[in-house]
Amino acid sequence: MAANNNGFAEALKEINTLLKVNKRVEKDVLKDAAEYFAKKLKPRIPVSDYKGNHLRDALKVVVKNDMVSVEFEDWAFYWHLVEHGHKKANGRGKIKGRHFVQNTWDGEGDKIAEIMRTEILDRMKG
């Protein structure tokens, strides 16, 4: 029988390895990816001219049960207004969004996926 050199056998082996990922490895990898994203996001968050707390100070990685997320503290509820923009308080005009979260994800999403993939494969190999 001829050797199968089309790459499907190797891809099937990787898929089977990924399917066997245990929950602990999955959680650790997600936490590492979230921390990487938060590290890249923090410098892109705009700083206001006001003294006191800033959005950069509110960024955190939260691990609850099987879920890992990058969030802002409760007092920084207005982050989405800075991200997406909003109407001015007097109703005349609009404040343009900064899109710092989306731009960071667009720029770093492939790198985060690669980090997760390589880390899972490394941990599953032993």
48-95: pLDDT as tens digits: 888 888 999 999 999 998 889 999 999 999 999 999 999 999 989 999
Q: What is the pTM of this model?
A: 0.78
What ranges in 42-99 are assigned the alpha helix state H? 55-58, 79-84
How many angstroms separate the CA atoms of 107 and 16, rounded? Answer: 29
Q: Residue 59's beta-bridge partner residues?
A: 72
pLDDT digit string, tens, across residues 14-50? 666 666 667 778 888 889 999 999 999 999 999 888 8
Q: Which residue in 46, 121, 31, 118 sits closest to 76, CA to CA? A: 46
